Every structure is written in structure tokens, then in C-alpha cells.
Structure 1
Amino acid sequence: MTGVAIEQMLELWCVELRQVKADLQSLFAHPSVAASAAAFLDGVLGPERRKTGWMRAEAAGDSGPWRQQAVLGRSHWDADALRDMVREYALETLASPGAVLVIDETGFLKQGQHSCGVGRQYTGSAGKITSCQIGVFAAYVSDKGCAFIDRQLYLPQDWTSKPERLAAAQVPGSIRFVTKPEIAAQMIERALAADVPFDWAATDTVYGVGRIEMQLRRAGKGYVLGAHATDRFYSWIDKPEVAGTAEQIAKALAPAAWKRLSAGDGTKGPRLYDWAYLELADLAAEEYNEHLTGLWTRGLLIRRRLSDGDLAFFSTWCPADTPIDTLVRVEGQRWAIEDAFETAKTELGLTHNETRSWHGWHRHVSLVMLAFAMMAVVRQRANALTSPQKRSDEAKPQRWYAGLSRKSAAWPHVLSSDASSPPS
């Protein structure tokens, strides 16, 4: 956002927040609940480090957290409708060719036994088995930015096998035990049904090979999916002979098979690794999708860390002749969701949820997703302000917020003094 005047940036934020709050009203039957949801957004976007109910209430000028608790608890509104709204809102600005749908999970550290889905389970957030909730998320990652577009709380079997526990946490009767890969498959299905424009999917090893591979092939989507060292890979149909576990194959590679490439820029510069890519088979696309033609390649991508030689493995599917650089770029996009988790937790209070119910968790997380999507949209719009074409058009009417409103093409007049309050 270099080169954007502070006044422009402030007005862009004001206009965006006002429009988001206006769109949010359609989800609520009562204006007071919509106002509380708008106050929630103000709270998570505010400067307070802790985004608890009391902190959000204080920021809103309330005497207590009751309005904040109501919007997450006893009020009647559909968190899934908000999820869909966030997805539509984010895609209006971030949709771009070559986008990647990234699926990953994050932990919410919790004590006690009553918060929905809590239990002793492994979370990468803590790097160990601990008492926590696990949320599975889908993020849309493109060259224009990153936003969460789906989420679901994972319920361990210890929860789904105890009806009294489910009832106490207000878990809908339709919810049953599903594995994390099954949750990921449901998210992919929702993205496909909503015509989310992505060309690739990327996941960690938890979600990797299996049902998701076939689902993506039938949808005509490329993928770079995390695989285990013990997963077996074979080549066939006129490809050089490859057979064995991913780790065995990697250790047998000649030095010339490796290529040093960056998986994208990190905080300390390019994330350099050594990479190897083995094409295992060329298959006709119409075998999986009657609307597609041409050859697609099944492959194995291997990443080797420079510092200690640690290996990571990825099952791939892509149009024939796709270069390794493209696959590395797709795998590198997976890191965007990690950065998004960190930002959402440290800046927007993603883990500061004080509710114990199923719908409370999904409401809190969905509202934070909306705030995060707004940040991504504002960032992209601000970046557009500094493009050469935009600078050459400065004499024209300032339409640098084009596409901001789905309801009007006119610039909405916003007074800075009331820009953050819900529209009347």
C-alpha cells in the first residue's frame, strides 16, 4: 500500500466498513442484533489486544458484554449465511486466475470440558497434544490476497458418541462424526457448488491423498496435496520406473534431480528449498470429467530443506507439461493460510471466543472471517490506487473504490465521525 495518502486510506476504510455493515443487516431479523454484530466488527478491528466480550463492550461504550454475548448466543441468525456472505464478498475483489483453495486447521486452546469440541488432541498451534478445539478452514489465495471462505469446528468421536454432551453444547441433530479429510471434502464441494473460481487446491498431510484427490480430478482442478513419507507411489504408461514409498524414492534420486527454487517470499526473503518432481503417469482428462480434454499428469513433488535435509512430499495432479515452478508456487501458497491464522489470532481475536456452544463458535469465527476479508479487500483496493494506470487517471472522477458496493456504482458520501456506526 506504498504511496497511498493517509486521507485516502482512512476514507477507504470508512467506506468499506460502512458498506460491510449495511450488507450485514440482511442476516438479522432485528435491528438491535445487527447493531451488536456491527459493534463486534468495530471491536475486533479496534486497537485492543484482547478481543473479549468485555473489551469489545467497552470499545462500543456498553456498560457490560451482554449485547456482545447475545449476538453470539441467544439471538436467532444463521452463521452459515454469514459464511456464504463472506465468501461472496471476498471473491468480488480477490478472484483471480490461478487461485488456490487452501485447506488447513488451527487450534483454539481451551480448558475445561464444556466448550464444544474441546478435548486433548494434537494441534500445530501448540506443537503438542493439549486441551483444545480444532477448527478446519478453507482459504482463497490469489495474487490479489487471501481470505477465509469456509470453516467448521471438528468434533472428536468422544463428543459425537455422547448425546448429552452434544445437547448441552447445542450441536444440531444433523451433525455426526466426520474426519478432518471428510470436512475438507465438504468444503471443496461447497466451493464447487458456489462456483468459486480456483484452479488449484493445496493441503497439509492431514487432508492429503484419498477421496479428495478423486474429487478434485473430477472437478478438473489441479492439486498439490501433502503426502506422508510412507505413502507409496508408482509410475506407469511410458514413464521412467518409479516404485516405493515417497521417502525411498526421494533418497534414491540423483543429485541432478534436485532444483533450488523459492516457494515464495517470507519475512526473511525468498523461502528457498531444493525440489524434485517425478511424473508418474499421463492420463486422459475425460476419464474423470467428460467436459475436459487433453492429458493430465499424476506426479510426486518432493521438498528438501536446505538446513537439515528434512523432506516433505506432495501428491500432484496438473495439466501435462506443467513446469515444476508452477507446482512449487502452488505449494508455496499454502503458507498464506498460516500467516492468515497468525493475523486473525493476534490482531482480530480469532481465539478469544468465550462461548461454549456450537453456534457460538461458528458465529464468532464467521464474524472474524468477515473482518479479515475486509482487511484483505481494503489492502487490494489500496494497492490498486498506486498502479501506473490509476495514477494516470487521477484527473478523472475518483472511482478507485470500483466494485466496492454491490448495490450502487455511486460514491457513497461518508462522514468520518459516523463512518464506523451502523447505517440507519
Structure 2
Amino acid sequence: MIEYRNLRIALLGGGSVGAQVAELLLKNGDELASRAGAGLELIGVAVRDIAAPRTTDIPAHLLTTDATSLILSADIVIELIGGLEPARSYILQAINSGADVITANKALLATHGPELFDAAEQVGAQLYYEAAVGGAIPIIRPLRDSLAGDTVKRILGIVNGTTNFILDLMETTGESLESALATATALGYAEADPTADIEGYDAAQKAAILASLAFHTTVPLESVYREGISSVTLAQVESARKAGYVIKLLAICERVTDPVTGVEGVSARVHPALVPTGHPLAAVHGANNAVFLEAEAAGDLMFYGAGAGGIETASAVLGDLVSAARRHVIGGPGVAESTHANLPVLPITSVTTRYQIILSVVDQPGVLAEIAGVFSDNGVSVEAVAQSAGSGAGPLARTDDSSSTATLVIGTHEASEAALAATVAALEASNVVSSVVSVLRVEGL
């Protein structure tokens, strides 16, 4: 057997993930080489500050601040610096120099993915990004390769560990969102500025990547509907539990047909949702991630595991490295991204799902009939109604105190987002509704 030459590996970034990649590559280099069919030589690690402290020691002779020279000397470039720039420029430089690229940069792929994939296709290079979604969970390769001959209908993903940890803590211990966030911060699950996680930006970036891959269609980040968990209250969590649900922040990518126009397309959205306690996603606890996938032929598939962490993410990066090295040994151009279905990306108003609406209403005769009329007038069918007393104690039949209120929890059958929005607007304008306390979508039924 003819031995292949050593492949030169450039690593950009020496943070928590980068340091783990460097350590594992140096430690397990011989074993990885046997799997790849070629030696894997780490030729350098580009960092901003050579003297900065690191979670894992990187040999001093490998550290450099000259990323450009390192890139131009490499066969495979691993980008782990994050952010949009200079990561985008470095990746384009690597691709144009003929190197394959491995990245965990979800923000960059969600924002500039089409540009980067096109650049790689033009020169026959390959861009690998298993670590960009779900950390150690293998989801990119299954979507791109294993399910390439199937039709993916829907993806429900818990793809942000911070928000799942917070919501799980609220569910299991009764902590408020503020208290759970403080706990998450103290344990290192949440950043000092948790906005990207709490407001759903991180999950939206991953949803754009998953939807583009699953439906062979470019789904721009700006087309992903986004809501975070900052408005989720402990009362909502408790109400969900009583109704047999848990609240999860879901990234949902699905094929949809607009109920008005009949146009078939795809949708990607991120928002808190009620998940039945019997659904596999309801059992995802702590900071773990999970992706539940519905395919036409393969049926239901579940991918579960650690969604973040230095060594966990490094595992996915090194898996991509072995794949990239094998491609070098075998030869041939990289495989282009399959984004040529060109399905229209539809807005959330085209989505049809179920809802749970919590109302504070005037506790007096005729209220139920009037509210039912609002739902009916807007084409939304009510499935179930539950009442709990507010400042009044009667069953919507009090006559002695018009200021008394009651709480109604209303579950609907499937309805379009547009119809639901019209219903909520009409409820807010109704003189028998004190306030629309909560509107949550129900997913996974």
C-alpha cells in the first residue's frame, strides 16, 4: 500500500473548543491518521494573543498571530474563532488557496453560507460544519448524506442548551425565569450577556442551517421567525404541566402549504412551544440538545446528546477532519451543497398548528358564548376550555360583582397563524376580556 503524505492542518482559534481540538489531535494523531489514511500534522494555531491563558495548554511553538501565512501553508483549515469577520475572509482565503475548511461557526454559515458554499464549489473544495449545530450530536452528515434519498417533512429541534436548562429548571424546581437564568450563569451555561440564547438568535441561526440542508433550499437567516423565552412565566409553566405539556424553545423547520394561496414551500421558525409530556423532546433535560426529524420513508428519527462544551464540540470537529482527510486521500472534487430545490420560503402566517390561549375575562354570564363567537368568527375551532377563578370565584355566572375576573385556558384545533393573529386581536378588543395573558403554540402532536 502506498503511503499518502502527511496532511497539513491549520487551526484558527485557541479558545475552549480550539484548545481541545489541538490537544486531541496531538494526543490521538496516530489513531486518527489510521482512520483517515494519512498523517495529520498540526502546523500551527492562529490566535489573537499568544500569551492569553487557555483551558488546555497548546505547545508554544505552534502558536502564531499570522493567520494568513498559516492558511496558505495548509491542506485543511479548521476555523474556530467565531463571529463574522475575520472568519469569513479567512475561510474564503483558505478555499481559494485550495484547502478544505472545517468550521463550527453557525452565525457565519447562517449569514454567509451560500457565498461560502459557492466559493468551495467553484474550486472543488469542501466545507464541513458538523459542529455548527448540536455540538457533539451528529445531525449534519445524516441530513446531507444518509437522508439524501429521502424527503424530510419536518424537524423539531431543541438546539440551544442554555434555554433548555433554564426552562427545565423552571419546570422541575419551580424557579422563576430570572432565578433560573442566574443559576445558569453561575454554572457557566449562560454568557454574561445571554441575549443571543434567551432571545432565540442562536437557535434561529441553527434553524436556518438545518432548513437549508433538509429542504435543499437556501433559507436566509432573516426569513426565520424568532421569539425568545424572556416572556415565559412560571405561571405558564405550571399551566402547561396541568394540561400535560412542557415548554421548550423549539427550532421548527417544515414543509408547509399556505392555507390561503395553496403555495407549497418551507418554513423555519424559533419560539417557545408546548410539547406533550409523552413526546421524546419533553424528556430532554438540562443543557442537552435534541433534534426530532420526520422523514417520508425513514419515519421518525431522534438525535440526542450534548449540544455544547469544548470537548464535545471538538469531537464533531475531529470527525469532520477525518472525513476531509479521507477525501484528500481518495481524490476528486468536493461535494457541492444540494440547495437547488428552490422552494419558496414562506412566512409564519402560512404555518398551521394548534394553540393554547390563556385569557383573563370578566366573570359574568354570557362571556363564554361571546368568546366562542370571537373564535368562530375568525375561523379558529376551540378544542377544550378550562377555567380557574381569578378575583371572583364563580363559574362565569356571577352577577353581584362585575369587577370579578376568571382565567380561561383555551386549546384550539389546528389553525393558521393568520387566523390566530386575527383572533387574538379581536380578543384584545373585546370588552369581556381583561387581558390576553398568554399565547403558545402546541407542537409535536
State the TM-score, normalized to the length of structure 2. Answer: 0.27
Higher radius of gyration, 1 or 2 = 2
State the TM-score, normalized to the length of structure 1. Answer: 0.28
RCO higher in structure (CA 8 A, sep ≥6): 1
